[in-house]
Structure 1
Amino acid sequence: MQSLFPYHDTTSAPQDAVAALTDAERQFGMLPNLMRKMASAPALLKGYLALGELFEQTSFSPAEQQVVLLSVSRENRCDYCMGAHSVLADMADVPKQVTDALRAGQPLPDPRLEALRRFTTAVVEARGWVDEAEVAAFQEAGYDAQQVLEVVLGVGMKTLSNYTNHIAGTELDAAFQHRAWRASETDD
């Protein structure tokens, strides 16, 4: 099925995807394989990049954003996004102890980040049907109603990439290989 979804660049991508690929390469300093695969559907690529920009504008710190994105990716068992976002978490100065716990599905050493991890995981597991106790526990950790819904934005954004990677068989870029992760090696 991978042959259905080639690794596009600006010379092979559908014309509607070229500007988004050019912007992504400028933003990331490389053209990640995820975007190269997404280019087969220009609207998907543009939507993912737009949601990513919006998620960066939330009230969450860069470290909290990575907690959300890694929590979603782990729950969805996305090897590509776990590897890539582990590197992005390193770049966002997320302590390695936190990232390693996220990768292992273990409680985080910081209680507030742990509440964020638990709530994000609950949203994914329950497909949004989280009970009031989950919302209350999240708020007791210091998060507010806005942040409840900002988690939903992060879940939506990351689900687009997780599912794309599952279907298209995206290979982890060389730049992220040192933080590779395999769901099959972490089965609970």
Structure 2
Amino acid sequence: MSKFKIHSIQSAPSDAQALLAGSLKKYGFVPNLQGGLAEAPAALQAYIELTALFDQTSLSPTERQVILLAVSAENHCSYCVAAHSMIAKKMIKADPAIVDAIRNLQPLPDAKLDVLANFTRHVVKNRGVVCAQVFDEFITAGYSRAQVLEVVLGVTLKTLSNYSNHIIETPLDTAFQAETWEEPVQCASKQCG
């Protein structure tokens, strides 16, 4: 059970109501993550604005979802892995094999996207300290220095939502139930260690 109220538009603080109404218009429902973030309207606004900024990067929709999924899996966020699996497969029509590989912590079937996922995980695991080899592999794969920073933007966005979901204990929306995710056994011992 959530430690926080998952706000509706009506129950949210007044500064969050218009933001949630925008989410309803965009998605057809108010995602529980946003209903939880509404407790702190500035946090909800930051999430929405960071999402919009990340969507303006030079990365393709599939590349953006690879980043968001890789961060979410690395941070053990079941809510975001499920949500972004659904978004990647249903909304942007990403190759399901790519999504499933990230979910299962396996190499991606696309070499360039595999480098992107590995770079992203490295950024998360090492708190932004990227070794020369990983940086060089990213550049050699065809990514730019600007895209290094765009990955950091994606990590920032997902850190906000992943950490919030952990604390809020956000219940998974019905819309994402088909993509429910439990982290693979090899990572489960990391949860509260």
TM-score, with structure 2 as normaliser: 0.94
Between the aligned partners of 1:25 and 1:14, the Cα distance in structure 2 is 16
Q: Which amino acid aligns with 1:70?
A: L
Q: Alpha carbon RMSD of aligned pairs, Å?
A: 1.1
Between the aligned partners of 2:124 and 2:153, the Cα distance in structure 1 is 12
1:69 pairs with 2:68: yes
Q: Which amino acid aligns with 2:102?
A: L
Q: CA deviation at 1:142?
A: 0.1
What is the number of residues matched between the two proteins? 186
Give the structure 2 partner of residue 7 of structure 1.
6
Per-residue deviation, residues 9-68 of structure 1 (Å, max 9, x unmatched)? 111100110111111111112110000000001000000000000000000110000000
> Does the residue aligned with 1:2 lie in a helix, a strand or coil?
coil
Between the aligned partners of 2:27 and 2:59, the Cα distance in structure 1 is 21
Give the structure 1 partner of residue 191 of structure 2.
none
User: Which structure 1 residue ranges, 5 or more long, are not aligned?
Assistant: none
Counterpart contact for 2:81–2:103, Cα < 8 Å: yes
More displaced stretch, 70-79 vs 24-33 = 24-33
Alignment of 1:107-122 (within 5 A): 107-122=107-122
Give the structure 2 partner of residue 43 of structure 1.
42
Give the structure 2 partner of residue 88 of structure 1.
87
> Does the residue aligned with 1:106 lie in a helix, a strand or coil?
coil
Between the aligned partners of 1:163 and 1:25, the Cα distance in structure 2 is 23
Per-residue deviation, residues 154-180 of structure 1 (Å, max 9, x unmatched)? 000001000010000001100100000
User: Which structure 2 residue ranges, 5 or more long, are not aligned?
Assistant: 188-193
1:59 pairs with 2:58: yes
Q: Which amino acid aligns with 1:71?
A: A
Counterpart contact for 1:104–1:186, Cα < 8 Å: no
Between the aligned partners of 2:92 and 2:10, the Cα distance in structure 1 is 32
Give the structure 2 partner of residue 163 of structure 1.
163
Percentage identity across aligned positions?
A: 49
